[in-house]
Amino acid sequence: MKILVTGGSGFIGTCITGHLLENGHSVKILDLKEPGIRHKRLEFVKKSILDKIADDIRGCDAVFHFAALLGVDNSDKKPLETMKINLEGSVNVFKSAIDAGVKSMIYSSSSEVYGEPRELPIKEDSVKGPVSTYGVSKLAAEIYAKAFNQEFNTNIRIVRFFNVYGPGQESNWVVPIFLNKALKNEPIKVFGNGAQTRCFTYVGDIADGVMKVLEKGKNCEAYNIGNSQPTTILELAQIIKELAKSKSEIVKVGFGKETRLKEREIEYRIPDISKMKSLGWQPKTMVREGIKKILESMKNN
């Protein structure tokens, strides 16, 4: 297959692209940043998802839409830009694919769409209640995707990622923040009591999951792709300190007055991954092994 990947030069997009190429597919990346990998079956188009892109999609068999303005903190500082890129940009990708005659798409959403969960573990049909601009933008694009599926008979499948981490991730996410502090023997700050619970998912497992959805996923369905190992933020800090052989002190700090409001902090984010398991997928890399892989990558680079 020939697959167009929006945001293919980003952290997750790069890993997805690598998996696609390893599985014999051809890839066309549409991004504003040059990809970090080169391959004879890889083509690059420097464009925004807000541009006219139907001609760039034409001739492809599927579209993976991974381009977005990322992060809760970042989106809260740029709410209108977030909605423009993540919602208007997504609608443009969906429409452009239809115009190009491509109906098979995978849209990367986020566990942020659930907000504070009403049930644990979180199922794909659990109540949605995003508390961030980023989460709202992702959910709004999901609603458009479902509308396109009904109106235009497209097959847009939705993948919701849970706390992705891995080598090459930008420095403003929790795992690299903690790692950088640990390697410098500086204090590692944990908000509140550190009991906030997440299921950190290694980027390689994310890519494997997306491949399973491509190969075996049901038409127009949504899938949670996450780890099955709940980890508190305090435990994450302790694991990173231990594996980095760090002398850092783990310091509990109060919540801030802007983004890190206690009222907006999600206490538990644990996915039900039964649907992904039914496709033959489950996470392979638990947190300790994932942190080791990042440290090894940092050492080699």
How far is residue 281's CA from residue 209's CA, in Å, rounded to a whole number? 6
Residue 287: partners with Cβ closer than 8 Å, 6 or more residues away: 200, 227, 229, 231, 236, 239
How far is residue 8's CA from residue 11's CA, in Å, rounded to a whole number? 8
pLDDT at residue 269 in the model: 94
Q: Name residue 268's beta-bridge partners.
A: 197
Phi then psi for residue 23, to 5 deg, are -95, 15
pLDDT at residue 255 in the model: 73
Active-site annotation, residues: 134
Is residue 214 pLDDT above 80, yes or no? yes
Q: Is the distance from CB of 28 to CB of 52 less than 8 angstroms?
A: no
Q: What percent of the chain has pLDDT over 70?
A: 97
pLDDT at residue 145 in the model: 98
How far is residue 223's CA from residue 106's CA, in Å, rounded to a whole number? 11
Q: Is the distance from CB of 291 to CB of 240 less than 8 angstroms?
A: yes
Which two three-digit tokens encode residue 219? Answer: 């038409």
Which pLDDT tens digit goes with each residue over 90-100? 999 999 999 99
What mean pLDDT do residues 63-91 have? Answer: 90
What mean pLDDT do residues 131-145 have? Answer: 95
Q: Is the distance from CB of 29 to CB of 5 less than 8 angstroms?
A: yes
**Distances in Å between the alpha carbon of 98 and those of 46, 60, 61, 188, 205?**
21, 11, 12, 48, 30
Edge to edge, what strands does the sheet with 222-225 contain?
42-46, 26-31, 2-6, 62-65, 104-110, 155-161, 222-225
H/E run at residue 235? helix 233-243
The residue extents of the domains of the chain are 2-162+203-226+272-283
Is residue 243 pLDDT above 70, yes or no? yes
What mean pLDDT do residues 162-174 have? Answer: 94
Closest to 228 (Cα-Cα) out of 179, 162, 157, 160: 162
Which two three-digit tokens encode residue 137? Answer: 């933008």
pLDDT at residue 259 in the model: 46
CATH class of 2-162+203-226+272-283: alpha beta
pLDDT at residue 258 in the model: 47
What mean pLDDT do residues 98-118 have? Answer: 96
Is residue 225 pLDDT above 90, yes or no? yes
Of residues 260 and 20, more confidence is placed in 20
